[in-house]
Structure 1
Amino acid sequence: MKLDKLLKNLDYRGEIDLSIDVEKISYDSRKIDKNSCFIAFCGIKTDGHNYIKDVIEKKPKLIIVDNDEYMNEYEFIIKVENSRKALSKISSNFYGNPSSEINVIGVTGTNGKTSTCLITKKIMDSMGQKCAYLGTLGFILNENVSSTGYTTPESLELQSILKLIKDSGTQHSAIEVSSHSLVQERVSSTDFDVAVFTNLSQDHLDYHKTMKEYFNAKAKLFRNLNNNSTSVINTDDFYGRTLFEESKSQRISFGKKNKSDIQLKKIEQSISKTQIEMIIMGKNFEFETNLVGEYNVYNIMASIGSLISLDFKIEDILDSLSKQTLNIPGRMELVCKKNNKYFFIDYAHTPDAFKQIFSNIKKVKSKDDILCVFGCGGDRDATKRARMASIAEQYCKKVYVTTDNPRSENIQQIFSDILNGFQTNNYHLIEDRKKAIETAIDSMDDNSVLLVLGKGRENYQIINESQFYFSDSDTIKDIVYES
């Protein structure tokens, strides 16, 4: 691609021959060759500008920086205000602006992103309207699953994926949009037709520092929408109401409040299904789903709002929803049942997610004992750890504290932070996660529920710089079926 097209709508300083042809783009200095464009930006751990001398030796067609210090280092170099934002723009240009040719639904919020995206995808698929998914569980296109390593990939990879979706003939995509990706401009050149806000509660404060900064990160998705796009917002949430009031796009609200466009009126739950009564755009509807928990009803409302935004009929949406079994991997997933013992895994790793899961299980299994196994990730927000312990103690007969991707942080420090949240000694500290799960299962009586929380379908543990295979689901099955 010639530079006049690659750099279209990009503000930059520096003289460059726009007829130069570039064959590939990279922000990884190791992948650069003489036909490449290299974009240097400052990451969390390393700064790409530090590798410019190595890149120059490979004589690339163009180097893009956002630091004046390097402007005289090479003949073919330009400066932009923000390299990450520039990467997003030129990546979109390089791949032909694919998001402008497909329907893109972006879902953001602390909890519910994965479930909302997958519910939306499965409803569309069942109606013969193929929908791709991109998020925590990877990239799903035509039932083929690929790992991406991030909830929302870097903009270069994101635009490549969007082009794959477009080229496959798939007209719809549901994408999880993380707060990190918004701050780092990964989606700034993605054309979103629908933006969904699920909720906001404490998480990632190791990165954002304050709830205000965390909210402003999420709000970027909605503040950048054009007038033809639609915001679908949970207005039961304090931050959601703020977003709804300031939104300049078209808007759909959902929640329990009387003025919501999609209003939850009544739910009746069991361990295996939920009956729902809603008012949707002024009309009353009743339907049933196999998903359990009020939080999942909110995810369903978010999905309904997204589909209405894309002109799907309400009756068709609900008909599809009622006819299929929705299984969300690692989200309140029933791994197995033995006699009257239930074994669930869930990705829950925030105080709000803990409260939602425990309170809903208590509603549908009020006479059963609840046990849980959980840990807290290392090198992440430490301030939520004690709160999670406090909530677990409130609802559970027994709590087993263990490891959950401690990374480079001292495991004993993580445990200390967690234990500060307990008011009693009704917990067990077992560092080995497999042993913790095994001990919890061995201690279960009839009519009990075990929740193994934090990892969902993750199949690894990260300890220091090493990654080891570990699956909560496989571990539970091995122990239960061997006993």
Structure 2
Amino acid sequence: MESPLRPSSLPPATLGSLVAGLGLVGDTDSRVAVSGITLDSRSVEPGWLYVALPGSRAHGAAFSEAAVEAGAAAILTDDAGRELIGASLVPVVAALDVRSAMATVSARLFGEPGRQMTMLGVTGTNGKTTTVALLQSGLMAADVHTGTIGTIGFRLDAEELRSSRTTVTTPESPDLQSLLAVMQRRGAGAVALEVSSHALALGRVDAIGFDVVGFLNLGRDHLDFHKSMEDYFEAKARLFEPGRSAVSVIWVDDQHGAELAGRVLAHGRSRLVTVGTAPGVDYRPSGYRADGAFGGRAVVARGGESLELRIGMPGEYNMVDAVVALAMLEAVGVPTDAALRGLAVAQVPGRMQRVHLGDDAPTVVVDFAHTPQAVEAAVGSLSDVGPVISVLGCGGDRDPEKREGMGAAAARGSRVTIITDDNPRTEDPAAIRAQTLAGARGVGGAEVVEVAGRRAAIEEALRRATSDSVVAILGKGHERGQILADRTVDFDDVEEATLAWRRLREEGDKNARS
């Protein structure tokens, strides 16, 4: 496995300077030199600060001896961890909010790289990855070297920065600050990152001062982590609290967006830019229409004038992301013409990604849609291209309440809906399919089929398709593996569709010769 990305050289800092002014207790005046930071005791290197976090099963303080044996120079923890550690061979400091302290210490250790670049953050249930890609394309069109951080990985301009990950979307603060430092040293002038609700709830971006942040929408998701929809919303809302960002760009057609806009207006610490379809908003898109099979255009009214915005992705929901991206780009000084050029050519792996199978083949699209809202939007936009055959599964060990909604959303817009497996993880795949099937079959009128095994389901969809069909393979998008109970196996929806079509063509040729 690759290691987290780190600068090739990092001047050590004293523990005292790293924790100064944070209200910690313990050995806060220590002059011990710190040259790295980690929250994983197995990753400690000599001279590093080990962060002992409270966990659901055990406290990180229980592994402090192992960390010290590996060379940890000091330990950062909370009061409970400090008590568990007791007498120590290395300095120990404790914080009331250890995650927030870890974020600030990480930023200081890596030279506060976020202060030296333009920082753009995007949150929302659906569309974060697409919007970050749109932002990068707009910035690059203005000749700004741009890093991106999110679900599909880390990039600097067109180059993928390969690294192990501590989370799916937004890295833990030590790895995030280290990654920002690498990008800054390699010439990045801006970084666009997806900011997940987990990241906000767990303080991963606490030490970043954003130049602009954007809110897209809020729908049902992550209720396996958050206690309720209200808790989920309040986690997202943290990105718009006073002092987080100079500018807040918010899609106010979403009721939660409207609530956020009111909060930003009330605290007055961030310039508010509204995006929506109602009169009086700052950026108002209208007249959306398809631009070919896989593109769209709309007129955007802003600042007393109108401009045409074109994108190379289908679906009005992608246009919403593009208008939010346009507002964010202009907020940080990107010239309008450059922003429009970049937005017109942006593409996102695994987001409405077309799979080219050759002449007379059906249109095949791979998309990451994994919420009811995202499935409905994807299938709805593709139904404008042709009759849709959907392939859909739901992830195991995730919010089960959204499965029926996802099944129903697929069935409402599809001629045929094939319910199959996604990443079952430790759950019974058949039980997950049953929940999704219940939603799909409850719609009525649509043909719904169950096919165990994602590979078989993709092949079945292609077997049923004609040249005018659209096969929508939903849920996994850019992912290159399938997570089973005891292992992760190689699995790429794009590759599987290509191979399945080849098998079907060979099968057809064989039958024709016989």
Provide TM-score, normalisation by structure 2. Answer: 0.89
Deviation at 1:294, TM superposition (A): 0.4
Task: Report deviation, 1:289.
Answer: 2.7
Structure-1 residue corresponding to 2:282 = 261
Query: Amino acid of the residue matched to residue 32 of structure 2?
Result: I
Quote how far apart the aligned CAs of 1:30 are: 1.8
1:266-415 alignment to 2 at 5 Å?
Answer: 266-269=287-290, 270-322=292-344, 325-336=345-356, 338-339=359-360, 341-362=362-383, 364-365=384-385, 368-415=386-433
Deviation per CA, 1:439-477, whole angstroms, max 9, x where unpaired? Answer: 111011342111000000111000013010001000111
Structure 1 pair 286/61, CA: closer, same or farther in 2 (3 Å)?
closer
Unaligned runs of 5+ in 2: 1-12, 506-514
TM-score, normalised to structure 1, is 0.94
Alpha-carbon distance between aligned partners in 2 of 1:229 and 1:328, rounded to the nearest angstrom:
27
1:477 alignment partner in structure 2: 498
Question: 1:155: which partner in 2?
Answer: 173
Counterpart among 88, 92, 111 of residue 77 in structure 1: 92
Once structures 1 and 2 are overlaid, which stretch shifts more, 240-249 or 405-414? 405-414
Q: Which residue of 1 aligns with 2:131?
A: 116
CA contact (8 A) 2:141 2:338 kept: no
Of 223, 238, 242, which residue of structure 1 is paired with 2:241? 223
List runs of 5+ in structure 1 lacking aligned partners.
none
Distance 1:175 1:148, change over 3 A: farther
What CA deviation, in whole Å up to 9, does each residue of 1:157-179 have, x standing for no partner?
A: 00011111211221111001111
- Identify the residue that residue 20 of structure 2 maps to in structure 1: 8
C-alpha separation between the residues in 1 aligned to 2:163 and 2:471?
Answer: 29
Amino acid at match of 2:84: Y
Worse-matched range after superposition: 4-13 or 52-61:
52-61
Is structure 2 residue 262 aligned with structure 1 residue 242? Answer: no
Q: Deviations over 1:47-87 (max 9, x none)?
A: 31221233344563211221333252325212111221121
Seen in structure 2, the aligned counterparts of structure 1 residues 59 and 102 have a Cα distance that, compared at 3 Å, is: closer
SS in 1 for 2:200: helix
For residues 305 and 480 of structure 1, the distance between their equivalents in structure 2, rounded to whole angstroms, comes to 41
The whole-number CA distance in structure 2 between the counterparts of 1:154 and 1:246 is 27
SS of the residue corresponding to residue 110 of structure 1 reads coil
Paired amino acid for 1:441 = L
Opposite residue 350 of structure 2, the aligned amino acid is: G
Q: Which of 29, 32, 36 matches 1:24?
A: 36
Partners of 1:287 and 1:13 in 2: CA distance: 54
Q: How far is the alpha carbon of 1:414 from its aligned partner? A: 1.1
Q: What is the correspondence of 1:65-144 to structure 2 with a 5 Å cutoff?
A: 65-68=77-80, 69-70=83-84, 72-74=86-88, 76-144=91-159
Q: Which stretch of the first structure deviates more once superposed, 63-72 or 433-442?
A: 63-72
Residues 1:108 and 1:387: Cα distance change in structure 2 (over 3 Å): same
Kept in 2, the 8 Å contact 1:137–1:147? The answer is no
Q: C-alpha displacement at 1:40, in angstroms?
A: 0.5
1:277 Cα offset (Å) = 1.1
8 Å contact 2:139–2:334 — kept in the other structure?
Answer: no
CA drift of 1:481 comes to 3.6
Residues in 2 aligned to 1:58 and 1:469: alpha-carbon distance in whole angstroms: 34
Conserved 8 A contact 1:138-1:148: no
- Greater CA drift, 2-11 or 448-457: 2-11
| Equivalent residues of 2:363, 2:471 under 8 A apart | yes
Shift of 1:255: 1.6
Whole-angstrom CA distance in 2 between matches of 1:473 and 1:319: 28
Question: How far 1:399 moved relative to its partner?
Answer: 1.1
* Alpha carbons of structure 1 residues 121 and 148: separation in structure 2 relative to 1, 3 Å: farther
Output the amino acid matched with 2:313. Answer: L
Q: Equivalents in 2 of 1:355, 1:46: separation in Å? A: 41
Shift of 1:393: 1.4
Match for 1:240: what amino acid? G
Does structure 2 conserve the Cα–Cα contact (< 8 Å) formed by 1:106 and 1:194?
yes
Q: In 2, Cα distance between the equivalents of 1:36 and 1:351?
A: 44
Q: Which moved more, 1:331-340 or 1:20-29?
A: 331-340
CA distance in 2, matches of 1:55, 1:273: 53
Moved more, 207-216 or 262-271: 262-271
Identity across matched positions, percent: 30
Distance 1:464 1:6 in 2: 41
| Cα deviation, residue 46, structure 1 | 4.9
What SS is found at the alignment partner of 1:277? Answer: strand
The residue number in structure 1 matching 2:10 is: none
